[in-house]
Structure 1
């Protein structure tokens, strides 16, 4: 896994911050590792790092990058990462049930009026008649692992359409992309910064929107170890404050577009340090802009969506019937929406 770290505080940028003076001094810094995917949807952490918000909270952050949600949850439980942002997965829920992990906030959300996650068909499947989700019956659907967000989305879409589909676990996002391009799977659903470039390059076809099937879907959450949630409250609150400031900047620049064109350009360049780093900026820029979905203000959590996800996991036998939102979420950190 790739690591990226910065030790300087960037205090000059922080002087312009509009938030009140924070209680934690930025002198004796707490070192912590933040788990992330190289997705635009993880931008709040990247912004908080690059603009010194973590440093101002007395946090010395190192990123650890993953290629799927479940390995990230395992890293949180084992102490290899301190905080992370990713979708609710069966692995995360099971670790919470064992007392090893807790959700402490919300991140990416589907929101009406904002172009969100897409449902894709391979070119071969599209040419054979998979031109909308209504024609998914009998098709294959790519996922990383059983119990992943891709599994949840695919199952909910199929259930709405009355379709019988076959799920193919491929472990990593990159492997799913390769399988879709080559026609080894028929369909997939994913965030727009991946879906739209695939379609624009002629590598797949967009056949629908996830929001039509899962309105207000809480796509990702912020989570940590139970030990951090219970015993490291000051550090955890500092992390969440910095993360929320990063989310505010991201939303203003690329979602609400209220910060102006220069701020939007600066934001895309910042994100490009972490997302599509193998592409020239001019090629990466449209894909990053296309990934601009809402990151919840102040880490608020859509508990209705979380409850729906847990209900699906229980119905599939992927988690115990006794697991509830109280098992997964530490409500003392969370604003409910």
Structure 2
């Protein structure tokens, strides 16, 4: 196991440009940790666990650290700047796992039939030119944050299943992709519904399909940590997963099962609004937060088959070393494995 400083972690990214329920954690002594997140509704498990004291109950004093893309978060885990994070699998994350710096320890966001998931978007210019279904994207430009990002993976799956080719445009940050799509500098993109639906209502972009049509049961994001934490800090890691999972349970109950009715939804929206769409008044943020409701895996269960599919694609594209195996990437000892 190795611990990397930030410079070494970035260098190692190189060419990448099981229990059924969680053990109750021992109460630690208010241990301070940092948890990486994006300002997306899909990261609500962490937000709820902080706000409702579930991390504190598990003996953890959590500071949230926010990022704008997946790969910088992977670097932060490898360098020790962040202890745990939830994000999509990227080429950078896989390469760092191969070097013994990172381990996936659970699952978070997943695509599920019957729940609106990630949407496939096109610019208004592309839509007016007749790009009204993903099958018509042949030869068009597709926005991604980085080469080897989850957006790159999803775009490739759409292209493969439709028998088309896409030109990928790395734009580094989600905000930059949104700007490029709205201005017609790129033709298409995929993103979670709390971003996709408001964009489509603006008229600047249009929804032409759903990611779940191409990737049912896609393990969109995973929970991960440093290989050192996974191997040597089992109590802390189980404590984190337990607190996080309680946050997920509350989120699911309020937003999907709606066990608390309208009041429960409103309370959850109030909580999430502290972290998502903070630049908007609550009444304008609420519809987007509600639109972003997707399934977060109970007890951080991990769809290993989906993760393996992603890994194999990264290898087939030459974005990571062909020798890396699933055991290099995933520690299956922490959570239930599903398929």
Bucket of the pairwise TM-score, normalised by the shorter protein: over 0.9
Quote the Cα distance in structure 2 between the aligned partners of 1:258 and 1:73: 35
- Tell me, what secondary structure is at the counterpart of 1:245? helix
Matches within 5 A, 1:4-43: 22-25=24-27, 28-43=29-44
Q: 1:322, CA displacement in angstroms?
A: 1.4
User: Which deviations, in whole Å up to 9, do the C-alpha atoms of 1:135-168 show, x marking residues without a partner?
Assistant: 0101000000011000000010011111111000
Q: Report the counterpart of residue 264 of structure 1 in structure 2.
A: 265
Q: Report the counterpart of residue 7 of structure 2 in structure 1.
A: none
Aligned positions, number: 318
Quote the Cα distance in structure 2 between the aligned partners of 1:190 and 1:236: 29
Matches within 5 A, 1:219-238: 219-238=220-239
Q: 1:256, CA displacement in angstroms?
A: 2.1
CA 1:103–1:121 in structure 2 vs 1: closer, same or farther (change >3 Å)? same
- Tell me, what secondary structure is at the counterpart of 2:302? coil
Where do 4+ consecutive residues of structure 1 move more than 4 Å?
19-23
Q: 1:25, CA displacement in angstroms?
A: 2.5
- Tell me, what secondary structure is at the counterpart of 1:322? coil
Q: 1:323, CA displacement in angstroms?
A: 1.2
Quote the Cα distance in structure 2 between the aligned partners of 1:203 and 1:281: 23
- Select the structure with the greater relative contact order (CA < 8 A; seq sep ≥ 6): 2
TM-score (norm: length of structure 2): 0.92
Quote the Cα distance in structure 2 between the aligned partners of 1:36 and 1:203: 28
Quote the Cα distance in structure 2 between the aligned partners of 1:98 and 1:273: 36
Matches within 5 A, 1:1-337: 22-25=24-27, 28-337=29-338
TM-score (norm: length of structure 1): 0.93
CA 1:23–1:297 in structure 2 vs 1: closer, same or farther (change >3 Å)? closer
Q: 1:199, CA displacement in angstroms?
A: 0.4
Q: Report the counterpart of residue 11 of structure 2 in structure 1.
A: none
CA 1:276–1:334 in structure 2 vs 1: closer, same or farther (change >3 Å)? same
Quote the Cα distance in structure 1 between the aligned partners of 2:194 and 2:44: 12
| CA RMSD after TM alignment | 1.3
- Tell me, what secondary structure is at the counterpart of 1:145? coil
Q: 1:258, CA displacement in angstroms?
A: 2.5
- Tell me, what secondary structure is at the counterpart of 1:223? strand
Quote the Cα distance in structure 2 between the aligned partners of 1:104 and 1:21: 14
Quote the Cα distance in structure 1 between the aligned partners of 2:70 and 2:104: 13
User: Which deviations, in whole Å up to 9, do the C-alpha atoms of 1:76-124 show, x marking residues without a partner?
Assistant: 0000100000000000000000000000000000001111100000001
Q: Report the counterpart of residue 12 of structure 2 in structure 1.
A: none
Q: 1:334, CA displacement in angstroms?
A: 2.4
Quote the Cα distance in structure 1 between the aligned partners of 2:152 and 2:61: 35
Structure 2 unpaired stretches of 5+: 1-20
Quote the Cα distance in structure 2 between the aligned partners of 1:42 and 1:194: 14
Tell me if structure 1 keeps the 8 A contact 2:31–2:60. yes
CA 1:168–1:23 in structure 2 vs 1: closer, same or farther (change >3 Å)? closer
Q: Report the counterpart of residue 15 of structure 1 in structure 2.
A: none
Quote the Cα distance in structure 2 between the aligned partners of 1:205 and 1:64: 32
Quote the Cα distance in structure 1 between the aligned partners of 2:257 and 2:161: 31
Quote the Cα distance in structure 1 between the aligned partners of 2:223 and 2:306: 15
